[in-house]
Amino acid sequence: MNELWDATPFAASGRFSGRRLHLGVSGSVACYKAVELLRAWTRLEMAVSATLTAGARRFVTPLLFASLGADPVYGDMFDPGQEVFAHLEPGENAEAMVIAPASADVLSRLASGAASDMLSAQALAFSGPLVVAPAMNPRMWAHAATRANAERLRGRGVVLVGPDSGEAACGDRGRGRLAALPEIFFAVLRALAPQDMASLRVMVTLGPTREPWDGVRYWSNPSSGRMGAALAVCAWLRGAAVTAICGPGVRCRFPAGVTRVEVTSAAEMFSAAADIWPGMDMGFFSAAVADFAPERPADGGLGKYKKSGAPEGFSIAFAPNPDILKSLAASRRPGQRVLGFAAEIVPDMESLLPLARLKLERKGADEVAANPVNAGHGAFGAEGASMAVVDRTGHGEIWSLKNKADIAWDLCSWLLRI
């Protein structure tokens, strides 16, 4: 599970600190997974309250949720010591509400407007964004009554996440499993995020490129794509339609709403980006594109070049790759905005500003973010980075080391203001 969250941009971020969320948990075998969601949101320093239905309490206990940071944790409507108006409290204090898992019975109650238990009453009295993640036997999900309830909820603006297909606890196979936890996690963050990019189409290039030399060897760099993934997720959280053009080896997980295009070489990335760019409003060019590619051996480079073929060694010639950022920035239509990146080895952060300004002018970008790739400064693959950021108005700033998700948020906000 830790690996799952490690590959999820915004699993560590300060942007949602202090936001208030109410979590509803209903009776489903999957309800133990809600504990992982609670932990993921509290790691962001969000305030999370919870309600466990009677069915949920057959699988998990209120004490478990309370011990992991949920406060308060509600049970039945008329439990001794329960506040008289506990069914109204989430609607007064929480900024978003999520029910995960949501059983077929809960869907029915929500759709009909029932208020006969604590969770359904809280949902009925909640006027903010509501995210619901169904989980049930595939035959129950396929029933016309359940599907009608789901469609009724969607029609009211409720965000439904899943269910997914797979094997249910009973052994049946089909659609009914609780959605992947990162999908629920992302959906809730999107419900809490400002939708200031809702009308925008955004393209992001990210990760390394690999330039083949023979059939098994290539020229590349250790970029992980973390920065670009954070930008793609940030734009999606804020409402944009996002296409991510990913170089090889990018393991970061995107929400299902992000379109992912896989490429390998700089030429492939340029071709994919050139096709997509005319329909975009913003381009985030964060990929660590190889500036040069090795010229292939005389035999075409399809086999493996062996040591026996060059016992005294050999030289490799390199040819320049297409400049994706400069080419697409030059071809943009009015209104398109461009964010470029620069990775530099410098003695100090102050040295980055003139280099960033030079790249801004050479590439024709609206904004350039430059980061040192010296050891200890947030080099390739790190969770954080230091940045020198400049824009076409002449403004420049130096940002000390911080999480790449938070950098992405600030870069998007900056570009929106230009």
182 and 91, same domain (yes or no): yes
Q: Is residue 308 in a domain?
A: no
Asked whether residue 143 is domain-assigned, the answer is: yes
Helices (H), 143-207: 144-155, 181-192
Is 366 found in the same domain as 238?
yes
Return the active site residues.
170
The answer to whether residues 53 and 22 belong to one domain is yes
Closest to 5 measured CA to CA, from 258, 253, 260: 253
**Mean pLDDT on 18-34:** 94
> The pTM is what?
0.92
Q: Residue 2 has what pLDDT?
A: 60
Apex 317 CA angle, 314 and 321, nearest 5:
150
Work out the end-to-end distance of the chain between its first and last CA atoms, rounded to an integer number of angstroms: 40
Q: Which of 145, 135, 63, 58 is nearest to 98 (CA)?
A: 135
Domain finish residue from 157, 192, 227? 192
206 with 179, same domain: the answer is no
Going 205 to 291 to 411 to 273, the CA torsion angle's sign is negative
Q: What are the pLDDT digits (tens) for 241-258?
A: 999 999 998 988 899 999
For CA atoms 397, 375, 226, 358, give the dihedral sign.
Answer: positive
**Residue 1: predicted pLDDT:** 46
111 and 15 in one domain?
A: yes
Domain range holding 273? 201-294+321-417
Residue 298 confidence (pLDDT): 67
- With a cut of 90, say whether residue 414 has pLDDT above it: yes
Same domain, 387 and 360: yes
* 162 vs 78, residue with greater confidence: 162
Residue 61 maps to a domain: yes
Query: Domain boundary residue among 192, 225, 245?
Result: 192
Q: Are 183 and 191 in contact (CB under 8 A)?
A: no
- Per-residue burial over 129-162, b if 16 or more Cβ lie within 10 Å, else e, is bbbbbbbbbbebbeeeebeebbeebeeeebbbbb
Same domain? For 134 and 216 the reply is no
Displacement of CA 179 from its chain's centroid (Å): 15
CB-CB contact of 135 with 101 (8 Å): yes
120-153 pLDDT, tens digit per residue, is 999 999 999 999 999 999 999 999 999 999 999 9
Residues in the chain: 418
Picking from 192, 221, 248, the residue at the C-terminal end of a domain is: 192
Residue 241 domain flag = yes
- What integer pLDDT is reported at residue 169 of this predicted model? 78
Q: How many domains does the chain have?
A: 2
Give 82-110 pLDDT, tens digit per residue.
Answer: 675 777 778 889 999 999 999 999 999 99
Q: Determine the average pLDDT of the residues in 41-55.
A: 96
pLDDT digits (tens, 9 = 90+) for 357-405: 999 999 999 999 998 887 655 567 678 888 999 999 999 999 998 999 9
Q: What is the CATH number of the domain that holds 132?
A: 3.40.50.1950
Task: Report pLDDT digits (tens) over 189-235.
Answer: 999 999 999 999 999 999 999 998 888 888 888 888 999 999 999 99
- Name the pLDDT band for 3 (thresholds 50, 70, 90): low
CATH number, domain of 233, equals: 3.40.50.10300
